[in-house]
Structure 1
Amino acid sequence: MTSAFGATSTTDDVLAGIDLSGKRILVTGVSAGLGVETARALVAHSASVVGAARDLKKAETATAPVREAAAEGHGAFELTELDLASFASIRAASDRLVADGRAFDVVIANAGVMAAPFGHTADGFETQFGTNHLGHFLFVNRIAGLIAPGGRLVNLSSAGHRYADVDLDDPNFERTPYDPWIAYGRSKTSNILFAVEFDRRHQARGVRAAAVHPGGINTELTRHVGVDRLKTMVERINADLTAAGKPPFRLKTIPQGAATSVWAGVVADADEVGGRYCENCHVAPVTQSPTDPISEGVRSYALDPDRAKALWAKSEEFVGERF
């Protein structure tokens, strides 16, 4: 299947003419940005969406457009509390969903942090690895049985995975000087490797997993970067692109950024995206291009099945559960 969509496609573009009645979808991180837009687009096409967020009061306010879209599109929306930086919160949230027993057709692991200052989750793990990877690893695996045959997992990763491969020997920077972008890169590589191994383990029952890069978008995710630094980064990138004779980099809008998540979750062919990394509404090629955040492509280490298995085993050790 060849996608008719690209970098400027929006959620409404990729869902045009699609009726999601009867589909139940879980989206993490619905208190801002991509999570809100992803939920809005899905319910506008009649899906029932469960939105997970750490701060329910903030999410309640942020998702007003989602509830409006649900009413207009005959979809449904509800919130559940989930703090991905706390194993206790994750276990409580997953226990509630399992007790409820209703299946999900798609789980979109959207929440995350980027370039955070050095710190630790409630369970003592480096903030970005602990939240972006371990949090979703524990949560998704604890509700994996609720993903219906034919269902999908979509992990939000980033072109930032090119900053670093995972470090299974020193994931918490106990022996390595902390760099927020290296930590971010490790966590985003982990998101891809998690999708690779989850896909391998579950495809026999018809459940597939993919990782997606939404593109460069100015959302709350950039709060640790700052407006001025983000502007400087874009200017430096564009200077390099101009020198190479390439067109300038442009930030995406939020509807454009959420489009690949929606495309991989409910539009693309499952066999096309299963175990793959997607961007701009298509499967990305493997590349060894420089570690910049804008060129298309995925690094081979992020799709390495042996690395994916090793990360899975280490992650089970960290969370104290086997899946």
Structure 2
Amino acid sequence: MSGQFGAKSTTDEVLAGVDLSGKRVLVTGVSAGLGVETARVLAAHGAHVVGAARDLAKAQGATDVVREAASTAGGSLELVALDLADLASVRACADALVADGRTFDIVIANAGVMAPPLGRTADGFETQFGTNHLGHFVLINRIAGLLHDGARVVVLSSSGHRFSDVDLEDPNFERADTYTPFGAYGRSKTANALFAVAFDDRHKARGVRATAVHPGGIQTELARHMTPETIQQMIDQINAAAGAEDLAGFEWKTIPQGAATSVWAGVVAPASLVGGRYCEDCHVAELVGDVSMLRAGVRSYALDLDHANALWALSERMVGETF
């Protein structure tokens, strides 16, 4: 199963022949890019998609393609408001879903921000850690009771996790004067991977599995805080590192290729294969050593259960809730 698809596989190829009629899926970040494509392909195969977005007006316009796909396949799309940078919004969204009572087969935590200047969420958390990790941490834990036995959670991490591990002593850069946009991004993406590890461990006894995925390099709105020069510098560094290892250089993925690993891990791959793991290019990633610029692989600190549990405990203290 894992060898059937690869880096260039698209969402349509991954879900070819798959019937998702009757399945209900929550996808965050459906106002652009990967979120829209993920929702589209799921709806095109009959799924009932709940799409969450901070800007509902933007999401409404961006998801015309999702509604069109749903109309021909028996699927549907429902939009809900969710600002991951504001825990009041996160809790309101979760509470509304719980009050509604309908269960989910899949949750895809797709939304996020990348490499902004140092900033704070509405609750005072460093922007990337607060949005990418803590927002999803609260949302998914609050709706965990809606995940029926056998459901899956897919958390979008990134190869950027190799930039930096989480700092359990100073997650908000309050005592450090070394903030860098990609250092903070790396922390948040490591946190995403560790959340999947810890959530999987807590829920796998009832068949609910969680996995982290790296979508690949895709040209989307996620890079809006980066200049073209910064992007090219990173590509040059990746290519230099790849050349030193006699590996292939960097290639952009299309949006359908970028969303393919999310739907592969959430729908197609065996749950026992991907549960608690980190996936890329429609396969489970291999462990790599002390590298940051190579294209593939996962660092061991992003999969360590003890580390994940320590982050879980810290996250509970930060958000003021115990799950």
Q: Could you tell me the TM-score, scaled by structure 1's length?
A: 0.97
Q: Distance in 2 between matches of 1:263 and 1:3?
A: 12
Find the counterpart in structure 1 of residue 14 from structure 2. 14
In the TM superposition, what is the alpha-carbon distance from 1:116 to its structure 2 partner? 1.1
Q: Distance in 1 between matches of 2:247 and 2:99?
A: 53
Q: Percent identity?
A: 68
Q: Secondary structure at the match of 1:224?
A: coil
In the TM superposition, what is the alpha-carbon distance from 1:289 to its structure 2 partner? 4.6
1:181-192 counterparts in 2 under 5 A? 181-192=182-193
Contact 1:155/1:212, CA 8 A, preserved across alignment = yes
Q: Distance in 2 between matches of 1:74 and 1:247?
A: 41
1:138-157 counterparts in 2 under 5 A? 138-157=138-157
Q: Could you tell me the TM-score, scaled by structure 2's length?
A: 0.97
Find the counterpart in structure 1 of residue 248 from structure 2. 247
Find the counterpart in structure 2 of residue 315 from structure 1. 315
Q: Distance in 2 between matches of 1:297 and 1:238?
A: 15
Q: Given the alignment of the two structures, is residue 30 of structure 1 paired with residue 48 of structure 2, yes or no? A: no
Q: Distance in 1 between matches of 2:256 and 2:192?
A: 22
1:274-285 counterparts in 2 under 5 A? 274-285=275-286
In the TM superposition, what is the alpha-carbon distance from 1:283 to its structure 2 partner? 0.5
Q: Distance in 2 between matches of 1:63 and 1:51?
A: 9
Q: Distance in 1 between matches of 2:273 and 2:20?
A: 20
In the TM superposition, what is the alpha-carbon distance from 1:3 to its structure 2 partner? 3.2
Q: Given the alignment of the two structures, is residue 137 of structure 1 paired with residue 137 of structure 2, yes or no? A: yes
Find the counterpart in structure 2 of residue 100 from structure 1. 100
In the TM superposition, what is the alpha-carbon distance from 1:244 to its structure 2 partner? 4.2
Which amino acid letter does the alignment assign opposite residue 181 of structure 2?
P
Q: Secondary structure at the match of 1:150?
A: strand
Q: Given the alignment of the two structures, is residue 86 of structure 1 paired with residue 86 of structure 2, yes or no? A: yes
In the TM superposition, what is the alpha-carbon distance from 1:2 to its structure 2 partner? 3.3
Which amino acid letter does the alignment assign opposite residue 148 of structure 2?
A
Q: Secondary structure at the match of 2:20?
A: coil
Unaligned runs of 5+ in 2: none
1:133-212 counterparts in 2 under 5 A? 133-176=133-176, 177-212=178-213
Unaligned runs of 5+ in 1: none
Contact 2:218/2:253, CA 8 A, preserved across alignment = yes
Contact 1:3/1:268, CA 8 A, preserved across alignment = no
Q: Distance in 1 between matches of 2:3 and 2:261?
A: 11
In the TM superposition, what is the alpha-carbon distance from 1:72 to its structure 2 partner? 1.5
Query: C-alpha deviations, 1:66-97, integer Å up to 9, x for none?
Result: 11111122210110000000010011101110
Contact 1:52/1:79, CA 8 A, preserved across alignment = yes
Q: Distance in 1 between matches of 2:142 and 2:245?
A: 47
Q: Distance in 2 between matches of 1:242 and 1:168?
A: 35
In the TM superposition, what is the alpha-carbon distance from 1:231 to its structure 2 partner? 2.4
Query: How many residues are paired up?
Result: 322
Find the counterpart in structure 2 of residue 301 from structure 1. 301
Contact 1:273/1:283, CA 8 A, preserved across alignment = yes
Find the counterpart in structure 1 of residue 257 from structure 2. 256
Query: C-alpha deviations, 1:118-168, integer Å up to 9, x for none?
Result: 000000000000000000000000001001110000000000000111101
